[in-house]
Structure 1
């Protein structure tokens, strides 16, 4: 059994990233004007929309005991306005996202977490419910909820890292007819992303794809002998003439971005690319506006 000292040390280590991340996210969110969201939209009423299994943290008064009495599971009756207010985030936390070409730049994962949490802060200030869907590998997520406590939960979940080289979006916890945001470098096999977004669109979910890249992934500045290695070291490729690969790489990157843009057009989502050497505020404003347009 862990000693009290070990428990305290572990808790402090776990909580250490939260205050800086929350403070940075709140500061970034403050740079974007708060718009009108959620229940204040015209035409959104209180009519029943769907039953869903209850989650830890759902208040007792929201449980529909008549529906729950028919099974061994408890259910919550979500209302139309609650669904319309829900925003679910997927943030790629794989090893590939822990890349930064310079110690003067943030890792892609750091920038994605910052943008996701700042967006969540804006949404929650506007009275919306924000949640997190896990990857297909981890399956971890948070159901959409309102309030400042949820912002702390999101910050805690976003500090967790995943062991896989590349992240694959999950689809758990995406309420039909809600909104969603996927943040990733999208450099892995695009098939799972296309499947997840298509499935979400079939459920009436609209949203945005934000590709987060390091500057060297955008420009491929390598020359001569170069060793390319994945985040986990599982994939390696060494070449003596890296500059000879530049045009092929740039062509494939452009092809990937065109494919993501086409996916967005087909499903009613929006797509753009953000490079970590650029300021974070314009990317946050783009996300905020994209969700507003999808309402």
Structure 2
């Protein structure tokens, strides 16, 4: 039994401290994995130095509201690691201005994809809705206990920091991936409807030949995801549809990259809007659609998908 959870709101401070220490420890494992000599506790002060073209200890204190001894200790550690350099102020020689050193700039280039991955994983782990901070902490700690925080970050960095993901256009050689990826996704979350089977089996007939577009996410010469812009009628309306990602590559924002590509592509085509059909049980997907600007509209009685109970549109 977790005693801290039993304390409810009285244990909030201790719970936050425990989560913080756990995340710091896991983040250190990530830095160590990539052989980066950096301490996660130095992040806030290092980031202030990165963001400003010259900063003093007082500037850092005003920005972060840390104690002066804590700032001095962190600055000394950054200096010991060779990540910063000092320059005397032109007007007041007693004042030292802190800048990144050349080594600090090189280290920053290694850290940035890791920070992006950490940010994405934190968003993923804290995406659930809750009615209180304590309930949200329970959800977060459950996820931290069931899925390795550090390993998830490392996998993300490998995909988005050290490897190249390309979005490529429809080619006949990719047709089987369009079918297989979508069929797998449908069987995992729902079931394959007759309309799905028809469109997925004949994408050229139903999408390409009608002026639509199919895109594929390609990672190291492997097709790992797909999505389509399918025309509906003759009035320029397109459906964002048939998005699927390989099971072993889910959780790395590939679907979001495909969706962003479709949105940018639609804007370049000067389309007035996009629509999509989904199901409210896909809470994460609905959240992401809304984040990208989609709003809910009524589902027509003769919707092409029996499983769909929500329709959304994005107006440009």
Q: TM-score with structure 1 length normalisation?
A: 0.28
User: Which gives a bigger RCO, structure 1 or 2 (Cα 8 Å, sep 6+)?
Assistant: 1
Larger Rg: 2
Question: Which of the pair is proportionally richer in helix?
Answer: 2
Q: TM-score with structure 2 length normalisation?
A: 0.26
